Chain A
């Protein structure tokens, strides 16, 4: 290892001494800092007039939700919420009514948590429907949820084994859910996809010149004719690429997580994931889900790093690398693939930007190979790791065998 760490140090210096990269890194941190509290900017308007600032609203709703934390989300709490919402008179904007603000609003997080289960394919469950919810319907909340999930699973083209496995996972979820204020985690889940895109773009900008800059600047001749230029240096470059990717990813993911919990509130880590989306079938807590998302995102970043390094070794300019990686990152965000076509759907989830989405990580559709059923949150990082392991030696050999012509 003699000299390896010196070479790694120089590779870091080459990357971090560039103004454009310093600017990109600072900008990405700033964007994260600005993006986490984005929901708090501005005011809530009623009839064209500012009613209260979004920050005030968050503080108020957080206090209401905290007062309900620890209570089981059972018939009693649902009906208490229904009775409170029943007080709201008919209005174009019910949230502006005094009754909503004084009686129903303290229960708004409960309403938000359960309404999704009552949506049907033809009708979106709204506040008026909720006002008329009967005790019988409230009693059936968990069975409706289970039936809905079962129906969804049965409609997919997964194997029977996979369907059974998902239902078995779901049966492990403890009901009734214990309600908790979880906005710190919820905001993190909602922003991680866009945060992932930022990070992957920054990784592409930082790593694009790793090999290709040597071609454009003409230093490739010095490198490839030097003792360690065809082995140790390439290993040092690859180590630098992956370690820098990991550092950028860890800093950004941790910064966003800490900011989200600091700004919106840290509690809710042990609350079930189903408070964020009742139809997820995994018995995971909010904190476990956040950790899984971070791990999967980190592997997605490493895969982006490996793709960027391969392109960097292959193309003659860093700009071309950035353009290609940007297309790879942004294009999949423009569309979607139906769950009905499992193969395409599962392949689509393997794009780097898709991997950083909770809907991919906690998806109902499983990955299946020769009778083996693998959960998405296990398969996605495994795939990213495998692809990185395949691409890295290719980058190594392309640079090693580069010819100066």
Chain B
């Protein structure tokens, strides 16, 4: 039971964008981490039934992704969230509610409730075309929750949100994750570091890691180093290893945080790894590109 992906593959010609992905989601928050082009959005689109897999199956409680009942259980915020500029925020939510099959009185009540939750209740009757990027994103989050979905899939949900909104959004997702499946796709590590119970790491169309934050991070234990070097020595190290952080210290030295399989220099000391370190470990080449 739960949301099951069985050998889900998507190919465009000879290019494999998602490669035999199998996973079962149970209630809880999942963070899908990967660089741009890793295949996160393709996987999400297949899970939302808007893109057919080349092979494999996706089902929720044995209901196939193509079935109306699957969509009835789904809430989805796409990466490039489209809207109708001439609609007001309230009208837009009522329209999506009608699409999701909510009866009119219930739709209105739910729309107002969500508008309040995303702090758009005062702007409910304003046209969406007058909204800032952050307001549109909040509206997108609200529409995804209209049908109180059992599966909530959010693709880059915090794009355009300011730090305060981002924290409020994380708290909201934490509450929602208690009684549903929430999949949060992002390349912003801090979005999922503290709220995702399970983190999925995707690279080149495959899931290369899945587990709790600590389980995932343990895969790079002993590979994160910190060292204080002179300016001139640091240049050579920076060229040789993926550097996570550079901090100027007093006395003309720099503190480097980097990733390396072996000790990069005599001054280097092993340090506790974080999710950001893991991200850099797997995606440094992609990020540099």
Which residues in A have some Cβ–Cβ distance to B below 8 Å?
2-3, 6-7, 10, 13-14, 17-18, 214, 217-231, 233, 403-405
Contacts and interface: CB of A to CB of B under 8 A. Distances in A.
A225 B50 contact: yes
Nearest to B79: A221
Interface in B122-158: 143, 147
Given A220-B50, A224-B50, A13 B101 contact: no
Nearest to B86: A17
B3 to A, nearest CB: 14
The 9 closest A-B pairs by CB, nearest first: A218-B82, A219-B82, A226-B99, A221-B78, A17-B86, A6-B98, A404-B50, A225-B48, A217-B82
Interface stretch (B66-74, B229-237, B267-275): B66-74
Tell me whether chain A's interface is mostly helix, strand or loop, or mixed.
Answer: loop
A229 B68 CA distance: 9
Given A221-B48, A227-B72, A404-B51, A233 B82 contact: no
21 contacts: A6-B104, A7-B99, A10-B91, A10-B98, A13-B91, A17-B86, A218-B78, A220-B82, A221-B76, A221-B80, A222-B96, A223-B99, A225-B50, A225-B74, A227-B72, A228-B98, A228-B99, A228-B101, A233-B99, A404-B51, A405-B51
A27 to B, nearest CB: 19
A226 B69 CA distance: 10
Given A222-B78, A230-B71, 12 more contacts: A6-B104, A10-B98, A13-B91, A14-B86, A17-B86, A220-B82, A222-B76, A225-B74, A226-B99, A227-B68, A229-B71, A404-B45
A403 B72 contact: no
B141 to A, nearest CB: 13
Interface residues of B, number: 32
Contacts of A10: 91, 94-95, 98
B93 to A, nearest CB: 11
A133 B289 CA distance: 94
B50 A7 contact: no
B51 to A, nearest CB: 5
Nearest to B69: A227
Contacts of B147: 227
A191 to B, nearest CB: 34
Contacts of A404: 45, 50-51, 78
B49 A225 contact: yes
Nearest to B65: A225
Interface string B80-110: 1111101100010011101111011000000
Contacts of B100: 226-228
B50 A218 contact: no
A10 B84 CA distance: 11
B255 interface: no
Contacts of A233: 99
Contact of A222 (B12, B86, B99, B104): B99
Contact of B51 (A3, A13, A223, A403): A403
B267 to A, nearest CB: 50
Contacts of B86: 14, 17-18
Nearest to B49: A225
Contacts of B76: 221-222, 225
Nearest to A11: B95
Given A7-B98, A217-B82, A226 B50 contact: no
Contacts of A231: 68
B10 to A, nearest CB: 9
A228 B83 CA distance: 17
A226 B72 CA distance: 7
A261 B192 CA distance: 72
B227 interface: no
Contacts of A226: 71, 96, 99-100
A3 to B, nearest CB: 5
